[in-house]
Structure 1
Amino acid sequence: MAKILFYDIETTGTMYWKNGIHQLSGIVDIDGKIVESFDIKMQPNPKAVIDDEALKIAGVSREQIESYGTGMIQGYNNLVSILSKHVSKFDKSDKFHLCGFNNRGFDDPFLRAFFTQCGDNYFGSWFWANSLDVMVLASQHFMTTRSKMKDFKLSTVAENLNIELSHEQLHDALYDVTITRQCYYELCPIS
């Protein structure tokens, strides 16, 4: 059984050791089928530095993220509640494959830091060590044509895979994870 957690985050900056997560969205995919999706908007770690440029990219304001009714610990508890419905953190053979777009270089370190900040040092009980990264898969797929692409952002990769996009919705974590999943299955179709 293949269990994939497609996920995306929006953060208060680019450095996982000093910035925090304010939106965490995901799709629980088991054997190619969506069994659950979630969109957790939460106040970031109270110690997190908030960079206005990062908020601008995500299309949110300080006031918006400060008004989220969910705090960091409650956001973590919401996530773990979802994860525990689909995997047993006590079974070494039952884990999620994490999958995102450029998640190895960006999202994964933030997610691991988020678990640690919430007092959970057992990140590896939920997830396999090596993530699936759609950006890496796309690099292989577009190896001979990449030099002709304007950039290698999620939107550009999706467009080159003939996936319809709403540019206004990009940088909303739930929308981005939906596009990421579509890209994944274009690059790695279920046989």
Structure 2
Amino acid sequence: MQKSDQKIIFIDVETTGVNPERNGLTQISGCVQIGDEVKESFDYFVRPFSHDEIEAEALKVTGIDRRQFLLPDHPDHLAVDGQNFEDPKDIYVRMAVMLGKYVSQYDKTDKFQFVGYNAHSFDMPFMRRFWEKNGDRFFGSWFWYPCLDVMLVWAQILQPVRAELSNFKLATVARHCGIKVDDSRLHDSQYDIELTRELWLSAHKIINQGNKEQPSWSQGELFA
């Protein structure tokens, strides 16, 4: 693999709340893309750390029952097909091994570009804190900073028609851009990252058009 191949990792997370200090992860999904090729996808269900606060509103959004977080041998454990919540330390190790297949954390010129929707203020901070909770302060050794936030990219592209959108949530923006959305699958991070990647690819085409339809910010006219 040549270093010139762009290394992108798309990541979306589901959590037990909105504060990465107090709350924890419940799902991490995404894919690794090298150049134009998706090398592998991942979808981990994560058992929160014992000290992570679990907020009822967050569970309502994801549809998860807190009994699913109990160990399988616990009498109150609730098993749900396709949702096997694993020890956070095990997930951390598996993710680190996966990252190490594509980039060198010790090479300052070899990193992943972290891409997500609202990733700058949500997904990346939660992932960084997840690393720290596992005793690893070197989350940044894997990724370029800042991340590429698909929400902010589309905020610029859609700025002239922003008033037409009732909000700027992932599903709303995807629909506005002509992407079919299955409401029943929203807030499953595996589905959310699929939508995110579709939006990223669409934005990438616009950015690279090189014609009059190209957004002004990519022509150096943003502050004109």
**Equivalent in the alignment of 1:169:** 185
Percent identity between the two aligned chains? 39
Equivalent residue in structure 2 for 1:38, among 39, 42, 62: 42
Counterpart residue type for residue 89 of structure 1: Q
**Equivalent in the alignment of 1:93:** 109
Q: Distance in 2 between matches of 1:56 and 1:66?
A: 18
User: How do 1:61-140 and structure 2 match up within 5 A?
Assistant: 61-67=65-71, 68-140=84-156
Q: Distance in 1 between matches of 2:19 and 2:64?
A: 18
Aligned residues: 191
Q: Distance in 2 between matches of 1:16 and 1:113?
A: 6
Q: Distance in 2 between matches of 1:64 and 1:157?
A: 32
Q: Distance in 2 between matches of 1:66 and 1:102?
A: 30
Higher relative contact order (CA 8 A, sep 6+): 1
Note the alpha carbon deviations across 1:33-59, whole angstroms, 9 max, x for none: 211100010101111000011011011
Note the alpha carbon deviations across 1:28-84, whole angstroms, 9 max, x for none: 011122111000101011110000110110111101233545111011011112111
Q: Distance in 1 between matches of 2:127 and 2:147?
A: 12
Counterpart residue type for residue 17 of structure 1: E
Q: Distance in 2 between matches of 1:12 and 1:72?
A: 14
Q: Which has the larger radius of gyration?
A: 2
Unaligned runs of 5+ in 1: none
- TM-score normalised over the length of structure 1: 0.96
Whether 1:51 and 2:55 are equivalent positions in the alignment is yes
Counterpart residue type for residue 6 of structure 2: A
Q: Distance in 2 between matches of 1:129 and 1:138?
A: 19
Counterpart residue type for residue 14 of structure 2: E
